[in-house]
Chain A
Amino acid sequence: MTLLAIILGGLVIYLGYNFYARRVDRNVVQADARKATPATLYMDGVDFVPASRNVLYGYHFKSIAAAGPIVGAITAANIWGWLPSILWLFLGVMFIGWASDYSAIVVSVRNDGNSISAIAHRLIAPRTRTILLTFIFFYLLLVAGAFGYIVAGILEGQPQVPLAIVALMVMGLLGGQMLYRWRMDLIAVTAITVGVTLLVILLGPVGATSQTVTGPNGQPQTQATQGPVGALVNAINGGINTITGNQPVISYYDPTLATPTPGQQASAAVPNVNFKPSFIFWLIFLCVFSYLGAVLPIWRYAQPVNYIGFWISFITIVLAFLGAAFAVVLSPEVASFKLPAIKSADLGFTAVAGQAWQPLWPMMFVTIACGAISGWHALIGSVGTARQIENETDMLPVGGGAMFTEMALGLLSLLAVTVAGTGAGAPAFAAGIGRFLSVFGLPLPYGTALGFAAFVVIVITVVQLVIRIMRVTLTEALADRMPIFRNPHVGIVISLVLMCLLVLSGTWVYLWQLFGSSNQLMASLSLLIVTVWLASTRRNPAYAGIPCLFMYITTMAATLVIARNLWETVVVPNMGRAGAGVAVGGAVAMVLVSILLFIAAAFIGWDGWQAYQRYRGHPAGEQPQPAPARP
């Protein structure tokens, strides 16, 4: 089955790229190799630098591919099953995803290398840029909250992982020193830092054993004993938890985690999230990690940490992909799907009062964001990549090609979770990666440890960079009115506090879906700008306009469903419960964010429609005219 899915994925890429994307590139956009690009026209040796197509493809792919396609696919497979998830990955990237990424680059290249937000300001309305900045801030905040929740949970619950993250921190600092101060060769630095980090990751499971014993009710149970690394972390956790006598400090009911034992009904009366002091400890550890990333010069910490993280995840993912492809021959048991194709026959459309409502449409389309379509890619493409395009004919292989490749990453995550069968989220992903690696003879515990480490490394490097950018956004937005925000530490601390509040208020799936909504709204906005630009230059806007309409309506509907779910299943059941104040406060804040996103999107939609009507009647030529001033 895994091989079949990979072949189908390859077919989607082949058909989508050759028979749809190329046609649009040739007939609608009319990429012209003779036209000068901003990289050659405005070459300044720094931002505007022509780069080879292959280099730029690798750079763009690395810039867009990380935790998003992995986490989204895992979450969706656990809610709706693997079949709808795989279909959305395939169809989403084929008809929408590539178009969004590619078009953002096209619009930027054809508009002097300006960013999407600058073009929106000029083409649609001045306030569109402000709204886009609002989206970016909430997007960053929600990413930090969602990823922070995952990382703190894994660091607390998987005792073999924290040492690997400490190794990553140390090697990151050392790597920066070796590269920029000692001026060592990049290959030597890579071999040392990546080699040591990999070794520490594989040290985690050493000495760990697991055996099956008969439990008190006669059922077989797996009894695991940790090795020295795991035992040390468990001892630290145990020591910290004695502060409260092993009692939780925050308890509440999260409907998205309701997984009662067979024969037992999930009930809002019983809290299923219990944060102990050890969780808080690892959350603070994450804050320290991110604080260093935000406050130190980029070359000293964030960049080398990111670089090492790339190699760890790259090696793991490539090997796992090969394992998934060869499993059918080498280990057929691994290749079979254990997760159901569809989780419930009604596809989640039946709403029950007081329970989470997860209808396939619109919720799956915001849960899987980056593997199918992502607004963030458009932003990156228009700011970074477009200014390095040497030739217009490179726009499709770089922008579209990288997005098709990212779908493959989402597909691998989906396959990993599908072959793992048991568990949910990151543990299932790690177990699946472990199974794929076991095809080549790597023992399952070591493969799983590598899967966990790769996952956490990807996520944690994103968190530190998000906090860094949040600090900049806060400074940009508030420093003129409140000079205290010129101090970088103030912005960082506020960003970290906001992240911690979101993490502790929990409701992981809603948090992720709200993040997906902000991301997909940015995608709709980017497609809207492309549509207006196409109309303004007398081109057929259908290939961007129809996906824009679909994503816009879907995401608007999703924000309303999320707000409803938060209110009915988190705020109401937890109201007045001791220790659940943070959860209720967080849920109310998330409802407000949903409403804010909805209103902001409505404004953008209205402005976009007006701009479209304006340009459809009077095309503005290649260089769009400024939007008329508002009264």
Chain B
Amino acid sequence: MSRVRSLITHYSSLITGLRELLYGMTGYEFAQHARHLRAERETLLLALTFGDMIGLPVLPPYYSLRLLPYVVPELEGWKRRVLRERHSLENEEFDLIEM
């Protein structure tokens, strides 16, 4: 019985692996693009509301503080994203090039 169970586990992990592989070749690109689109809007919103954190004072601190509790989970990733040095081709779906 345990042998059958281990066989089932083995094949189910194989199928999971194949599904992930196919997802990597197909849908992952769309997911990645969706992430980029979301990040662009988020960057804009956070730059307007919390720009002073990266040297862009746009909104008075009072309103920023009112919004702070809602955006705390996003702040760390946002700062890393906008302050990182970038390669010139990075913003143009560089990963789509296939040769």
* A interface residue numbers (CB < 8 A to B): 42-49, 51-52, 54-68, 115, 117-118, 133, 136, 143, 179, 186, 190, 298-299, 302-303, 306-307, 310-311, 314, 370, 374, 376, 380, 383-384, 461-462, 465-466, 468-469, 472-473, 476, 519
Q: Which residue of A lies closest to B19 (CB)?
A: A54
Q: Which residues on A sit within 8 Å (CB–CB) of B22?
A: 58
User: Can you report 21 residue pairs joining A to B where beta carbons are below 8 Å apart?
Assistant: A46-B35, A51-B28, A54-B21, A56-B24, A58-B21, A58-B24, A58-B28, A60-B24, A63-B96, A63-B97, A67-B98, A115-B87, A118-B85, A307-B30, A380-B97, A384-B95, A461-B98, A462-B97, A469-B92, A469-B94, A472-B88
Q: Choose the segment among B49-57, B64-72, B74-82 that binds chain A (4+ C-beta atoms closer than 8 Å).
A: B74-82
Give CA–CA (A89, B33) in the complex, Å: 34
Q: Which residue of B lies closest to A179 (CB)?
A: B30
Partner of B23, one of A49, A55, A190: A55
Q: Which residues on B sit within 8 Å (CB–CB) of A61?
A: 24-25
Q: Which residues on B sit within 8 Å (CB–CB) of A307?
A: 26, 29-30
Q: Which residue of B lies closest to A64 (CB)?
A: B98
Q: Which residues on A sit within 8 Å (CB–CB) of B24?
A: 51, 54-62
Asked if B17 CB lies within 8 Å of chain A CBs, one says yes
- The answer to whether B80 touches A48 (Cβ under 8 A) is yes
Most buried by B among A44, A380, A476: A44
Q: Which residues on B sit within 8 Å (CB–CB) of A68?
A: 99
Give CA–CA (A303, B33) in the complex, Å: 9
- The answer to whether A58 touches B25 (Cβ under 8 A) is yes
Q: Contacts A314-B25, A383-B90, A469-B92 hold; do A58 and B98 have CB atoms under 8 A apart?
A: no
CB distance from B53 to the nearest CB of A (A): 15
- The answer to whether B93 touches A303 (Cβ under 8 A) is yes
Q: Which residue of B lies closest to A311 (CB)?
A: B26
CB distance from A61 to the nearest CB of B (A): 7
Asked if B46 CB lies within 8 Å of chain A CBs, one says no
Give CA–CA (A469, B92) in the complex, Å: 7
Give CA–CA (A299, B30) in the complex, Å: 9
Q: Which residues on B sit within 8 Å (CB–CB) of A55?
A: 20-21, 23-24, 28
Most buried by A among B24, B27, B98: B98
- The answer to whether A59 touches B97 (Cβ under 8 A) is no
Q: Which residues on B sit within 8 Å (CB–CB) of A57?
A: 21, 24
CB distance from A626 to the nearest CB of B (A): 14
Give CA–CA (A384, B89) in the complex, Å: 11
- The answer to whether B20 touches A306 (Cβ under 8 A) is no
Partner of A303, one of B29, B74, B92: B29
Q: Interface residue count for B (Cβ, 8 Å)?
A: 38
Q: Which residues on A sit within 8 Å (CB–CB) of B26?
A: 58, 62, 186, 190, 307, 310-311
Give CA–CA (A45, B74) in the complex, Å: 9
- The answer to whether B21 touches A66 (Cβ under 8 A) is no
A54-B24, A310-B25, A465-B93 known; 6 other A-B pairs, CB under 8 Å?
A45-B39, A68-B99, A303-B33, A306-B96, A465-B97, A469-B92
- The answer to whether A45 touches B29 (Cβ under 8 A) is no
CB distance from A493 to the nearest CB of B (A): 17
Q: Which residues on A sit within 8 Å (CB–CB) of B25?
A: 58-59, 61-62, 310, 314
Q: Which residue of B lies closest to A43 (CB)?
A: B77
Asked if B10 CB lies within 8 Å of chain A CBs, one says no
Most buried by B among A46, A136, A179, A376: A46
Closest 4 CB pairs of A and B: A58-B24, A54-B20, A66-B98, A55-B24
- The answer to whether A186 touches B98 (Cβ under 8 A) is no
CB distance from A364 to the nearest CB of B (A): 19
Q: Which residues on B sit within 8 Å (CB–CB) of A179?
A: 30
Give CA–CA (A468, B95) in the complex, Å: 12
Give CA–CA (A571, B37) in the complex, Å: 49
Partner of A47, one of B18, B20, B74, B81: B81
CB distance from A47 to the nearest CB of B (A): 7
Q: Which residue of A lies closest to B81 (CB)?
A: A44
CB distance from B14 to the nearest CB of A (A): 11
CB distance from B36 to the nearest CB of A (A): 6
Q: Contacts A54-B21, A54-B24, A179-B30 hold; do A62 and B39 have CB atoms under 8 A apart?
A: no
CB distance from A337 to the nearest CB of B (A): 28
- The answer to whether B99 touches A299 (Cβ under 8 A) is no
Q: Which residues on A sit within 8 Å (CB–CB) of B84?
A: 42, 44, 47
Q: Which residues on A sit within 8 Å (CB–CB) of B39?
A: 44-46
CB distance from B54 to the nearest CB of A (A): 14
Q: Which residues on A sit within 8 Å (CB–CB) of B92?
A: 298, 468-469, 472
Give CA–CA (A310, B25) in the complex, Å: 9
Q: Which residue of A lies closest to B91 (CB)?
A: A472
CB distance from A521 to the nearest CB of B (A): 15
- The answer to whether A46 touches B81 (Cβ under 8 A) is yes
Q: Which residues on B sit within 8 Å (CB–CB) of A298?
A: 33, 92-93, 96
Q: Which residues on B sit within 8 Å (CB–CB) of A299?
A: 33, 37
CB distance from B23 to the nearest CB of A (A): 6
Q: Contacts A52-B20, A472-B88, A472-B92 hold; do A370 and B77 have CB atoms under 8 A apart?
A: no
CB distance from A499 to the nearest CB of B (A): 15
